Structure 1
């Protein structure tokens, strides 16, 4: 599997964040657009499989195919750059500023949304035969997902918002773990295996992913879901983006950086005790 140990792949994380911070606007948007589109296709595929088989686990098992594909092609998701790019700032890489970090996040958000929306329109055409008929069974399911995960949260008020936020935190804890896990290996098979596991967990558990939602919710609106654009923004997308940022940066980026990128000095070990020497004598010598 060509495994890299944690200090090695944490250095790769920081290097990747630095590269993304200085990437041109054109390349950043293109890569983000393609990432949003491919992940949206993966989500459409997973929902289709779930509806046709009646087994959500089967859909979750197959959903990571889209994530692995976009990562291997070098495209960028907002959830990934939330974790990687700030590390270059924290590590004080020359030229990396808060402005460059925010610029990267903004461009990736726009690109991801445009890519996901493109696929949402295409799939809505397929599910309705060019909007000439009611959505098929898969289209109806997507509409119900959008309704349940906007209005459904709103019905619980503050408790619903808290639940949404926590689901978003847990989501990017897993998704960013998948991004980082791919850096543990230099082989394609190793990268795919490492990415597959945490992505499977996030999708099956129903955690909230801001880019997947960029496909599901606009698509749901086009397919007759009973919720509004404002419901989508206030009761899903905006809190999900914030939760994804907290989850990826706090539980993946900063923790790995703190313990493997900037490892604390090891504690002094006591001197080895000689055979037959009293334990107290050994401690005294060690202290001296």
Structure 2
């Protein structure tokens, strides 16, 4: 059967989290770089569709293409490892320690940012004919997003910061549901359909995704938007990362583990290090 039952799903998630800890630095950075780059291209595509069709729903429907492609190819996002690696630590998988987990998160963050930033530079060139003219309508829309989601939050003070954090929580609740959905079916079509739904929801609702923002906000700055790097970090990226961590682990990883993990026998998993090909077998 192509459907993976919840108990087996949790086992697969724990195994995937454990395997990430044992990846080399090069493997982790390359997977994260490509994950950030592909998601950034999907974000540029979705904004382009939304602007040119004047229909934000059309952009949201098409945005999951990037997420699906990157996970089918075994690349990584910070939002995903925020959910999977802590599960392996919670399950007491051998070798999954706090330092190992933090190392994985740090490398994935760096790789995601590098990939997203490269796409931001390339798309800024695309939108401005190599910085020789004003940005087109899509470039202007990206700048507006950057301003609204930095100084727009700052204008509301503490209430704005709370809203930003909550949007980050809600975002990775959905995104990590998509990460889990990548393992809930053994067929490619099943994976595509189940990943598509929560990712479309998060994008249309305007929740805050740390990796998408690694593209949108540097793009806005390159295209002349009226906010600063410190605005971006303080009033978006840092609170979004924290919200993404809380949302993904609390509402997806932990809840699935508490509901199905021990019944699935994930506690006390075999002590051998994860196979380098484990993620390929999981298609994750």
- Tell me the TM-score range normalised by the shorter chain: over 0.9
Q: 2:267 corresponds to which residue?
A: none
Q: 1:272 corresponds to which residue?
A: none
Q: Does 1:141 align with 2:179?
A: no
Shift of 1:136: 0.5
Q: 1:99 corresponds to which residue?
A: 99
Shift of 1:94: 1.0
Q: Does 1:163 align with 2:167?
A: no
Q: Does 1:261 align with 2:258?
A: no
Shift of 1:95: 1.4
> Aligned equivalents of 1:44 and 1:59: distance in 2?
10
Shift of 1:190: 0.3
Helix, strand or coil at the partner of 1:76:
coil
Q: 1:179 corresponds to which residue?
A: 179
Q: How does 1:65-214 map to 2 (within 5 A)?
A: 65-214=65-214
Q: CA contact under 8 A between 2:174 and 2:199: conserved in structure 1?
A: yes
> Aligned equivalents of 1:37 and 1:2: distance in 2?
30
Q: How does 1:226-237 map to 2 (within 5 A)?
A: 226-237=226-237
CA RMSD of aligned residues (A): 0.9
> Aligned equivalents of 1:44 and 1:77: distance in 2?
17
> Aligned equivalents of 2:62 and 2:3: distance in 1?
25
- Structure 1 residues 126-172: Cα deviation after superposition (integer angstroms, max 9, x where no partner): 00000001101100000000000000000000000000000000000
> Aligned equivalents of 1:132 and 1:211: distance in 2?
28
Q: Which has the larger radius of gyration?
A: 1
Note the residue ranges of structure 2 that are not aligned, 5 or more in a row: 265-284
Q: Which has the higher contact order (CA 8 A, sep 6+)?
A: 2
Shift of 1:263: 4.2
> Aligned equivalents of 1:263 and 1:160: distance in 2?
41
Shift of 1:262: 2.0
Q: 1:270 corresponds to which residue?
A: none
Q: CA contact under 8 A between 2:7 and 2:263: conserved in structure 1?
A: no
> Aligned equivalents of 1:263 and 1:208: distance in 2?
34
Q: 2:24 corresponds to which residue?
A: 24
- Structure 1 residues 36-85: Cα deviation after superposition (integer angstroms, max 9, x where no partner): 00000000000000000000000000000000000000000000000000
Shift of 1:8: 0.5
> Aligned equivalents of 2:54 and 2:182: distance in 1?
31
> Aligned equivalents of 1:180 and 1:215: distance in 2?
24
Shift of 1:96: 1.2
Q: How many residues align?
A: 264
TM-score (norm 1): 0.91
> Aligned equivalents of 2:147 and 2:263: distance in 1?
46
Q: CA contact under 8 A between 2:173 and 2:251: conserved in structure 1?
A: yes
> Aligned equivalents of 2:77 and 2:166: distance in 1?
20
> Aligned equivalents of 2:244 and 2:95: distance in 1?
26
> Aligned equivalents of 1:113 and 1:263: distance in 2?
38
Helix, strand or coil at the partner of 1:184:
coil
Q: CA contact under 8 A between 2:38 and 2:70: conserved in structure 1?
A: yes
Write out the 4+ residue segments of structure 1 that deviate beyond 4 Å after TM superposition.
none
